[in-house]
Chain A
Amino acid sequence: MRDTTTAPVISAQALNLTFQTGDGPVHALKDVTLDIAKGEFVSFIGPSGCGKTTFLRVIADLEQPTSGTITVNGMSPEAARMARAYGYVFQAAGLYPWRTIAGNVKLPLEIMGYSKADQAARVEKVLELVELSGFARKFPWQLSGGMQQRASIARALAFDADILLMDEPFGALDEIVRDRLNEQLLALWARTEKTIGFVTHSIPEAVYLSTKIVVMSPRPGRITDVIDSPLPRVRPLEIRDSPEFIEIAHRVREGLRAGHLDD
């Protein structure tokens, strides 16, 4: 699966990040070294406080590492952000209440200066992609939480970024909606060939979605295991009952437990 002929899309070398807080320094990331190749679907999994969000935010240039190097598309994260290299989906949908769903999806397009005609066409296309076509003119409060989250994903897909960073986008949703969104996300990933970084707390979700699973552990936040998934790219939901799937899930669980035993 991995394309070894091209440079990695995201490359972190010995990354450290320490937050100075009121009650002493917090070592959120310690010696994080990771390469993510183009077109990979990478999940970050680990207990609360292990630095998953922090790592994603470092990639997005929302947080500055204390030491180490990181490149995104071969540039500094800041240059990549300026070049609008990624779309970011936050844990909460964070739609603007004064904009309709279409208006929210259009927001990045307005900021990035797409033409009016292009904006309308793209909004229509991505709303279709997340199955919200009929809701373009509704306001966020008229939608369920899951629909709002889909709208926020559409917002991140509307412009041409080939990296998609998602921080527990389905964390607050029930199992059934989640399964459905997972399927849709895989289909979308297959169609768009984006590189995806995905934070989750759910082992099945991580195994089902990813080509690479990064297991992390807290205090200090670090990577304890990186699992390259042998599962095929095309994955029906039933694949979750296959022996391969169960085996990877087992390995992830072991990795998480080992991280806990270190405490």
Chain B
Amino acid sequence: MRNVLPVLTVTACLIALWYAAVVPMNQQWAQDQARRAGQDLSFSALVADTMSQQRPRLPAPHQVAQELWNSTVVEEMTGRRGFMNTGSLSNRSLIYHGWVTLSATLLGFAIGSALGIALAVGIVHNRAMDASVMPWAIASQTIPILAIAPMIIVVLNAVGITGLIPKAIISTYLSFFPVVVGMVKGLRAPDQMQLDLMKTYSASGGQVFAKLRWPSAMPYLFASLKVAIAAALVGAIVAELPTGAVAGLGARLLSGSYYGQTVQIWSALFAAAILAASMVALIGLIQRVTLKRMGMAA
């Protein structure tokens, strides 16, 4: 609770800055219109106009908020194709598009985390994997995702795999890496004395893993899962761009930019940000509960 005030202050400042930027960004179009009509534009009229354009260069915060509201609650409650009228999500609502992206994100995140943990276990327990896997994992992340995503999507499309799976693969590609790095560090967190103690019990490798390495790695696991889920969302959105997908937040971004619908672009961006923040917060909650039960108050 005590950190609500600073957060609100910062948010208020950002919104104020944003409003301040709206006027100069959009004034060109407003003045062109006025000149064509042979009118003189007063300052208050200029401000009012820049805040309410159809296709502003920079939409005002309230326009984005309005669009977010309209394309979620209003669309599903009252829209012709909305949930209330048809019993299924409208393909014009951000809830529908958000879900399309979210499902790919979650699938990719699940596969990526499992893969990341498996690779980390291998790296920690196997000398050959220790020497060979990490350089490849790092190399994989130096290739720009924008370059590799279209290739993966197109190749998979060519063999008839479309929809959820290709997007989930891009999400996996981005999300396994932070988990590998975090878990390698976590599984190596036990110090020599703790390992020696296990040795004096002549514990098996499996026991050392289950009773020492795995619990030691828990804080690292959650930290890397937070990074991974955000990366998985980016992956899913990027994967929606190259093929001109018709559904998903990425598709909304793309069609918004085709038709100059800046308000639509911004609301899709905000929807993505809200989605990412909620998922990170959810993992944070699970982390707190888990670590508390383990006696490691975070």
Q: Chain A: residues with CB nearer than 8 A to chain B?
A: 60-62, 81-82, 84, 86-88, 90, 92, 94, 96-100, 107-108, 110-112, 139, 141
Contact = CB atoms under 8 A, between A and B. Distances in A.
B196 interface: yes
Interface stretch (B31-39, B113-121, B199-207, B239-247): B199-207
A94 B294 CA distance: 16
Ranked nearest first, the 7 interchain pairs of A and B with the lowest CB-CB distance are A139-B295, A98-B294, A88-B200, A111-B201, A111-B203, A98-B215, A108-B201
B197 interface: yes
B111 interface: no
B146 to A, nearest CB: 41
A82 B202 CA distance: 6
Interface of B: 193-194, 196-203, 207, 211-212, 215, 218, 294-296
Contacts of A99: 295
Contacts, number: 47
A86 B218 contact: no
A97 B295 contact: yes
Given A107-B211, A111-B201, A112-B201, A90 B295 contact: no
Given A82-B202, A139-B295, 4 more contacts: A62-B196, A84-B201, A87-B200, A97-B296
A62 B193 CA distance: 10
A98 B215 CA distance: 7
Nearest to B194: A94
A97 B189 CA distance: 13
A111 B207 contact: yes
Q: Which of A60, A92, A96 has the most CB of B within 10 A?
A: A96
B295 A94 contact: no
Nearest to B212: A96
Nearest to A138: B295
Contacts of B218: 98
A143 to B, nearest CB: 12
Nearest to A78: B202
A98 B200 contact: no
Contacts of A87: 200
B48 to A, nearest CB: 60
A107 B194 CA distance: 12
A6 B267 CA distance: 85
B211 A111 contact: yes
B193 A94 contact: yes
Given A62-B200, A81-B202, A111-B201, A92 B212 contact: no
B151 to A, nearest CB: 44
A84 B204 CA distance: 13
Contacts of A92: 193
